Structure 1
Amino acid sequence: MILTQCAVCATELGLSLGKKCGRCSTRYCGPECQVQHWKEGGHDQLCKKIKRSGGAEQYHANNKYSEAVAVAATACAEDTKGQTCYICTQALHWKTKEGLVRGCSCRGTSGFAHVSCLVEQAKILIAEAEENNLLDKANERWLRWDTCGLCEQKYHGVVLCALGWACWKTYLDRPETEPVLSGAMSLLGNGLHEVGHLADALSVREADLAMMRRHGASEENILAAQSALAIACAAVRDLEKALSMERDVYSGRLRLHGEEHPQTLIAANNYASRLVGLKRFEEAKTLLRRITPVARRVLRESDELTLKMRSMYAQALCRDPAATLDNRREAVTTLEEVERTARRVFGGAHPLTEGIGGELRASRAVLEVALGARDVEALRELVGAMGTA
């Protein structure tokens, strides 16, 4: 399902074009590439092995998972030196021999684990919920796939990517109508996005939405898939398409849930982000003035989404070429407050804290030039150089 390219020439096949190997389901654009792969690409040696692994999709997922775990353990090696897994209490995993990771908001000596241990924990919890028909606990238990059970914050970066591949390889053979299959695709898309594999993330999002529409998923689930696809489109710089989709998702959430629902607030934040990215600052500020007070009331001041909204409003204030000196002062003051809160809640190494810190430094530079009124052209260049959301 996630394999959408010819194994030989990488022609994009979508979800249904081309043909498959009759034994292992490896995909090709046509018989010529299939013959070439058998004669020259080593497929004659791999075909039986791939079949024994469960087919091309399973084989691919298993390999990608192993690669992602190795990358995560290497990236976390310095932080995890001298520590042990809080699940199995060992430094080196007894079976896989993998090292430790930590990709959440835990600090000090908390939160160190093997990806394999985190995976096994999540699998057991989901299996228990399924076997005992614990539908009321299913969503709560699913969080173990991407949320730390200690600090209760999301995993990020290479650790999330490894967990995404783990989740996908665990559930990829489930029927399309089962929620866990779409959940696994969503988690994989998140992980790929986190590590900058943007084209792959886009492919996963497109496959997920197509699957949902094919089996008549609920409006709630389709809106979620559309939102994820819009983010993937924005990441590959298809901003106008992303904006249109985010607008539709926000309208759909308002109609379905009302303005105070967390999913509506997420949709509003995503829509505002696209507006800022396209430099439609007045529209972004108008939207954020309306939704941020709702987020601060319904969620909490230290909630990640509230912090994102406040940070984005400051960005819209400072990046607007028509901003006044007071606007830029307000932007810096807001970012200073938000950065302190993010650092306290998530730690200095969290992507949210780092992102807000970068925006704060850029906004201070703009304010310094504006206060000195030394060079109007320099001010324009600084504002123009500020990143887009």
Structure 2
Amino acid sequence: MILTQCAVCAAPLGLSLGKKCGRCSTRYCGPECQVQHWKEGGHDKLCKLIKKAGGAEQYNANKKYTEAVAVAAEACADDTKGQTCYICTQALHWKTKEGLVRGCACRGTAGFAHVSCLAEQAKILVAEAEENNLGPEKLQTTTCRWHTCSLCEQEYHGVVNCALSWACWKTYVGRPEAHWTRLMAMRQLGSSFSRANHPEDALSVQEAELAMLQRHGALIENILIVHGNLANTYEALQRPERALLLRRDVYSGWLKIHGEEHYETIREANNYARFLVDQKRFEEAKKLLRKTIPVARRILGESHLLTLSMRAHYARALYTDPAATLDDLREAVTTYEDTVRIARRVMGGGHPFLGPIERDLERSRAALREAPHS
């Protein structure tokens, strides 16, 4: 994780508390822990090595990246057997000797790659965009390569997403604190912790990011993004009251700044609606989704993951509501059937989005069968 804790006792330090090793910048809560780490924790042997790697934060990022790549390659070994990387055309990477991965929506013989090849591709695209002073829209397109497949245009998931997030952080951790690439990398790393069900690590990264943005007077849009990510983390940590306040404020904030057709407004409407369904606030969820699903269909299209996700949340609000009518149950089943059909065509059967909605489809059908028909 990002180094916001004492290396010895794990006391929280945020981004500025405590003290650092004068040579390698390893962080401690105070001189006692620093001395203990040198005498008993092996820091006397590692200090020069850490400094040579670029300091404690860079050393940690490099180490975590290597571990994440090994995990991803092992997890994908069966799927990638006998294939080659579509970027370098080799089975084993010529330098790192890492295996292949595939964690997107590509099927057949498409989409196999080395994490390091994907990372290098993303790094080059971002560097070219920076060098040519391209605008925000082009920068957004290029930074997507850190988390989205260039072939199927779907986001990476699971251990592949985690490995790419560490690659992104390792690449930009040495930039100045408020540089946009470093902030982007920090945000992606926090999101990968959330998706991997490590909310404590995600909270540490996201709180550090928020403190840094506030200290540098960041734009309200960036603050809203972090608040949205924090809401996800508070949910995972079973703190629904705090999550609800953030969800409502984040959606209202994007709506006020950019209107209902902006991508972030649509995304936060989806997140807010899902949370309302989870909290059994069915009428609020249905009202919000009836207003925002047509916008998502018009702006993003029928097959976009956000549109499909919103329709799935709407169907769940319909059939899990204890006050559901027969018409509600029929609409839920029809909505799920259409959503599953489109998702399977666009993303393939192995995408993690598909399994839960297929199970919900069966549950909605069961609810319809068991409902009294008059």
Q: Is residue 176–residue 215 contact of structure 1 (8 Å, CA) maintained in 2?
A: no
Q: Which runs of 5+ in 1 are unaligned?
A: 374-389
1:75-100 CA deviation, whole Å, 9 max, x = no partner? 11111000000010000001100000
Relative to structure 2, which stretch is displaced further, 102-111 or 20-29?
Answer: 20-29
1:78 partnered with 2:78:
yes
Deviation larger for 353-362 or 70-79? 353-362
Distance 2:151 2:227 in 1: 31
Contact in 1 for aligned 2:326/2:373 (Cα 8 Å): no
User: SS in structure 1 opposite 2:54?
Assistant: coil
Give the Cα separation in 1 of the matches to 2:340 and 2:238.
Answer: 27
Amino acid at match of 2:210: L
Matched residue SS, 1:121: helix
The worse-fitting range, judged by mean Cα deviation, of 228-237 and 90-99 is: 228-237
Do 1:23 and 1:51's aligned partners in 2 also have CA atoms closer than 8 Å? yes
Counterpart of 2:51, as a letter, is K
1:170 positional shift: 0.6
Which residue of structure 1 lines up, in the alignment, with residue 219 of structure 2? 218
Amino acid at match of 1:225: V
Higher alpha-carbon deviation: 191-200 or 59-68: 191-200
* Percent identity for Structure 1 against Structure 2: 68
Shift of 1:194: 2.2
1:145 Cα offset (Å) = 0.9
Aligned length: 373
Q: Secondary structure at the match of 1:167?
A: helix
Question: Do residues 229 (structure 1) and 253 (structure 2) align?
Answer: no
Q: 1:372 to 1:28 in 2, by over 3 A?
A: farther
Please report how far the alpha carbon of residue 371 of structure 1 lies from its aligned counterpart in structure 2 after TM superposition. 5.2
- 1:372 Cα deviation (Å)? 9.2
- By how many angstroms is 1:311 displaced? 0.3
How far the C-alpha of 1:267 sits from its partner, in A, is 1.3
C-alpha displacement of 1:146: 1.0
Which runs of 5 or more residues in structure 2 are unaligned? Answer: none
- Provide the rounded CA distance (Å) in 1 between the counterparts of 2:226 and 2:142: 21
Q: Contact 2:194/2:232 (CA < 8 Å) preserved in 1?
A: no
Give the Cα–Cα distance (whole angstroms) in 2 for the partners of residues 312 and 220 of structure 1: 25
CA positional deviation for 1:2: 2.1
**Structure 1 partner of 2:352:** 351
Matched, 1:105 2:109: no
Whole-angstrom distance in 2 between the partners of 1:350 and 1:322 = 32
- Verify the 8 A CA contact 1:158 1:194 in the aligned structure 2: no
Q: SS of the counterpart of 2:38? A: helix
Aligned to 1:384: none
In 2, the alpha carbon distance for the partners of 1:363 and 1:129 equals 47
Q: Which residue of 2 aligns with 1:197?
A: 198
**8 A contact 1:80–1:102 mirrored in 2:** yes
Task: Report the TM-score, using the length of structure 1 for normalisation.
Answer: 0.92
Q: Distance in 1 between matches of 2:345 and 2:226?
A: 32
**Equivalent residues in 2 for 1:271-286 (5 A)?**
271-286=272-287
Distance, in Å, in 2 between the alignment partners of 1:174 and 1:26 is 18
| Equivalent residue, structure 2, for 1:34 | 34
For the pair 1:47 / 2:47, whether they are aligned, the reply is yes
**Aligned equivalent of 1:19:** 19
- Residue 371 of structure 2 aligns to a residue in which SS? helix
Superimposed CA distance per residue, residues 124-148 of structure 1 (whole angstroms, 9 cap, x where no aligned partner): 1111222232335322211111111
**Could you tell me whether the CA contact under 8 Å between 2:65 and 2:163 is conserved in 1?**
yes
C-alpha distance in 2, partners of 1:237/1:361?
28
Answering whether residue 121 of structure 2 is matched by residue 121 of structure 1, we say yes
Contact 1:163 1:191 (8 Å CA) reproduced = no
Partner residue in 1 for 2:327: 326
TM-score (norm 2): 0.95
Query: Partners of 2:38 and 2:362 in 1: how far apart?
Result: 55
Alpha-carbon separation, structure 1, partners of 2:235 and 2:268: 14
> For the structure 1 residues 330 and 59, does the alpha-carbon distance in structure 2 shift closer, same or farther, using more than 3 Å as the test?
same
